[in-house]
Amino acid sequence: MPLYPSVDLHMHTTYSDGLDTPTALVAKASELGVWNLAITDHDTVDGLPEGIEAGQRYGVQVMSGIELTVQFEDYRDIHILGYDFDPADAAFAACIQRMQEARLERGLEILRRVNRMLGEVGKAPIDEQRVLARAQGAVARPHLAQELVEQGCVETFQEAFQDYLVPCDVPKATLSPQDAFRMVAEAGGICSLAHPGTLSSDPVEIERLLTTFGRMGLAGVEAYHHCHQPSFIDFLCQCARQLNLIVTGGSDYHGRPQGAVLGFLDVNKPVPESVWTELMAARTP
């Protein structure tokens, strides 16, 4: 296996929790010789047009991607990677829009509850416009915690959560795996289960989840991820063959100085090229 990377199917930009803009990400990839990549921001496709346009300029093939968070049984945080879909598909775009609206509405409802609590103890409310500006429209609890600290209502993030954000919490809107598989399939794409090692280290449980999701429409499994040990990667590849799933992989790059390295799973371990060829072979014509 070559020691230089050429593909990466799991990367984040400033459109979710990454630090590089899509253009900066594609520029870095081309410098490294990563000619095939997928941008997979959390629950949004807003960075794709910029990424695809940059890809054309830098000669990098940028595939549409997304990392959706779904809930199943007691699992609250399952990540599903969607690939090679049409981000402009009307039903897909509407679904993403609804999810974004639900997240914003949740953030604002928590803000209203926090302000009610602050009012009860005679403290000044948090300014909604300031929070919206800080959060660039996607208000989440860390933004509110930051405001509470800056206003001097609490001293630390931890206190902000303990005293205000936990008591004022509003449940998240949920998406099922079936919903995710369906919306990606209807937009012409396929799905892979991201980093299964974060769900369980028990092979029996992983096999059960992959079998169940496979029946629901899952097409692949992300065996190659920095959180998996080599023996766990082998196990996932074996599972994939048995269950007729493709094997995907990527760095889960976020652009953080101490974090995952673009194109690599570990030192001297590039993401294998096979993940791109398998995905290309599996895509719907």
Which CB sits closer to Zn ion, 21 or 151?
21
Least distance to Zn ion, CB of residue 156, Å: 27
Using alpha carbons only, what angle is made at residue 223 by residues 36 and 239, rounded to the nearest 5 degrees? 130
Minimum CB–partner distance for residue 111 and Zn ion (Å)? 27
Helix, strand, coil proportions of the chain in percent (round to 5)?
A: 45, 15, 40
CA dist., res. 104 & res. 89, Å (int): 23
CA 69 to chain centre: 7
Task: Give 114 or 263: the residue with its C-beta nearer to Zn ion.
Answer: 263
The smaller minimum CB distance to Zn ion, of residues 39 and 114, is found at 39
Q: What is the dihedral of CA 34, 57, 282, 195, to 10 degrees?
A: 50
- CA–CA separation, 36 vs 63, rounded Å? 8
User: In whole angstroms, what is the distance from residue 111 CA to residue 114 CA?
Assistant: 5
CB of 35 to Zn ion, least distance (A): 21
- Between 7 and 168, name the residue whose CB sits nearer to Zn ion: 7
What are the start-end ranges of the H helices in the chain?
A: 22-32, 48-58, 90-120, 128-135, 141-150, 157-160, 177-186, 203-216, 230-243, 274-282
Q: Which is nearer to Zn ion, 26 or 160 (CB)?
A: 26
Chain residues binding Zn ion by CB under 5 A are 67, 79, 194, 252
Q: How far is the CB of 163 from Zn ion (least distance, A)?
A: 30
Closest CA to 51 of 100, 75, 78, 16: 16
- Torsion over CA: 3, 7, 9, 15 (sign): positive
Please, what is the minimum distance in Å from the beta carbon of residue 159 to Zn ion? 28
Using the minimum distance from each CB to Zn ion, give the nearer residue, 110 or 193. 193
Q: What residue is closest to Zn ion based on CB?
A: 79
- Dihedral angle sign, alpha carbons of residues 271, 272, 275, 280: positive
**Separation of alpha carbons 117 and 111, rounded Å:** 10
Nearest distance from residue 40's CB to Zn ion, in Å? 6
| Nearer of residues 55 and 255 to Zn ion, judged by Cβ | 255
Give least dist CB 116 to Zn ion, A: 34
